[in-house]
Structure 1
């Protein structure tokens, strides 16, 4: 056996995808399989083969991701990574990650790579840092109410809601809202052609007793300004009292009034006493409207992991909340072309970043740089954890860089891959 990855051929896709499904121990519907067959970029997909059978897989999607400042940057969405259980600890995963990052570097078109991790412990050694988290909550809507400011209450009441049990009938309205939201939220991915089908996947085998997917759109006049996709899971107590759940799958809105109108709708769905909300941004507006946050059981989970493929291009692609002029000494053992000193100069209008021989102000690994890149992780917090070192503690460089990197809006990934 050789661990040298090979580019996937279209005729090999079924066997390659079967290994992926088996490695994750998951079930898949025919709809999911058909969708991911159509979305797979075979020229960006790799396999390791042993005696004609695939034993390792990895791929990349060609995405564009919002970064602080509103730019939307070409980004490799690392995906479909697996190793057959019979071939663990033979260097298969390392060879796939090595080939993938070398190919990205050679192409020079995507300064960032991102992934969602089934096992977070795996990817740090390849330079990926936790860049975005998501909020989960179980809201007791029978005992928790929304308390909106009077002006917002009136504005939300002025919006019109359109609900459908056929989400595809409102797809164009939802996609228009999603597109408007992307630049305002670091971590959001543009919806590339074909990906608009993913949120509508709703195989019956995965519903676990819930209803088919439903959709509601908020309209200001005839303009869509928000939407929510959800299901309802009916349940009855021993005394025949309704005790169902609203399962929120997706919610996007362009302004506070649209958010408020949609959350008020979810709280008011008949025969339900709870809202299961997963994958929400850490600064979701409802957190400030609920009457009792303890009865919402908020908790966070990791979502997006990011690594700069090209440090200079990555840091120059985003804007910075405060003026910054700092020399970063970056360690990147897996992608040594990034190792060295980089002078970053920028502000809210843009930035430049280039190699330098000047003395370093801060030292950190590419993993910490990836964690801080979208503005959701503070460089100061990483320094307090011993992961960022300030060369001259009295220089103020750490404070300057931390203020510049940190974002006013929490990064968020609502678009799985």
Structure 2
């Protein structure tokens, strides 16, 4: 059976999305969620693989701008909606879509592609490296408390509907974007994603609500959450399900967490996406009672290696020659000299002897300053050909805060 890969035409979007849902399994999305993704889909950047009976493979890309170490915003391709029908596995459908997609990105203005993976092992063979982690937690608010900071009582808290607070929350988010690598500047329409709250997705919890934190009349932070009712033989045991919490200063952040821990009839707060170096690690009196866990989040693929490495800054001066393996995007393979510091960088091809040898996947993992080259070398993934080169490069790539992807796509 032959297949053909084509750019998605808008009139075929429903079939495209139906096939995506079928590949992932489970119930169909609520109409509200489906319409959001219909509006966000860039059909001109979406691919459908067809056989003579319809669509058997899907893949898309969003046009994002992502914060890099140093604070600049880089255009990146946000790979999304990737699926293959179970009847067409192991026939090269996924490889053909990845091939077409990365070729298209290479011809465009984005030197980097990013994605979140349902199964991380799938994308490593296409050069994607795990660049950020996310922290999840289940806080026992009966056994730990938020430390008091001077000024917390001056923070005024106000309950509003998420829709009414949308602009205020987005203003806070926008001010935070330059401060942490991996964050995505909101593109038009993406502010609606955080407000999705279909009844079918609440798992028995209340509708989402929002609390705004104000100081001298200025909104300095917010939290969006729902409450899931639960009762034990001893009485109420409700769970606060936290979707988002952001603040512009430590005092406001602490005040929001204190509020969440004191919601009547509740004994737990569950959250599923915060940076691995989030201040909550130091705010709570007993971090063990936060029951933290970690998982991979953003996967990064350097599509145009030289341009990508020049786009960010480096914590310490660096001058190293990389010997890069890249079988899937061979235009990246070979030796590259990276010279840079906190002010900027250059990266160009060279014939000089290599200092470090690695694949493009390892560079993608280290790109945002999270996973260090030294740690990857300890796993045998980076080879040091010049004494001292590994320490120099690893220090230069590392950031002073951990990178973080605030929402999926």
Q: Shorter chain as normaliser: what TM range?
A: over 0.9
Are residues 1:342 and 2:343 paired? no
In structure 1, runs of 5+ residues without a counterpart are none
Superposed, which structure 2 residues align to 1:14-413 within 5 Å?
14-27=14-27, 28-107=29-108, 109-148=109-148, 153-164=149-160, 166-239=161-234, 241-392=235-386, 394=387, 396-413=388-405
Task: State the secondary structure of the residue aligned to 1:291.
Answer: coil
Cα distance in 1 for partners of 2:216, 2:187 equals 28
Cα distance between partner residues in 1 of 2:188 and 2:232? 45
RMSD across aligned C-alpha pairs, in angstroms?
A: 1.0
Counterparts of 1:197 and 1:290 in 2: how far apart (Å)?
Answer: 31
Q: Distance in 2 between matches of 1:234 and 1:350?
A: 52
In 1, Cα distance between equivalents of 2:247 and 2:325: 40
SS at match of 2:188: coil
Q: Which moved more, 1:345-354 or 1:218-227?
A: 218-227
Q: How does the TM-score come out when normalised to structure 1?
A: 0.96
- Cα offset for 1:26? 3.1
Give the TM-score normalised by structure 2.
0.98
- Where 1:224 maps in the other structure, the secondary structure is strand
d(CA) in 1 for partners of 2:196, 2:154: 32
* C-alpha contact (below 8 Å) 1:136/1:299 kept by paired residues: yes
Shift of 1:292: 1.4
After TM superposition, give the deviation of residue 235 of structure 1 in Å. Answer: 1.1
SS in 1 for 2:263: coil
Q: Does structure 2 conserve the Cα–Cα contact (< 8 Å) formed by 1:3 and 1:95? A: no
**Does residue 414 in structure 1 map to residue 409 in structure 2?**
no
Q: Please show how residues 3-14 of structure 1 align to structure 2 within 5 Å.
A: 3-14=3-14
Cα deviation, 1:363-392, whole Å, max 9, x if unaligned, reads 110000000001110100111111000112
Residues in 2 aligned to 1:341 and 1:220: alpha-carbon distance in whole angstroms = 53
- Contact 2:4/2:51, CA 8 A, preserved across alignment: no
Please give the alpha-carbon distance, in whole angstroms, between the structure 1 residues aligned to 2:133 and 2:26: 24
- Equivalent residue pairs, number: 408
Question: In structure 2, how many angstroms separate the alpha carbons of the residues matched to 1:357 and 1:220?
Answer: 58
For the residues of structure 2 that align with 1:379 and 1:157, how far apart are their CA atoms? 44
Preserved contact between residue 147 and residue 283 of structure 2 (Cα < 8 Å): yes
CA distance in 2, matches of 1:326, 1:155: 47
How far 1:52 moved relative to its partner? 4.1
Unmatched 5+ stretches in structure 2:
none
Deviations 1:37-70 (A, max 9, x none): 1110000000000114000000000000001000
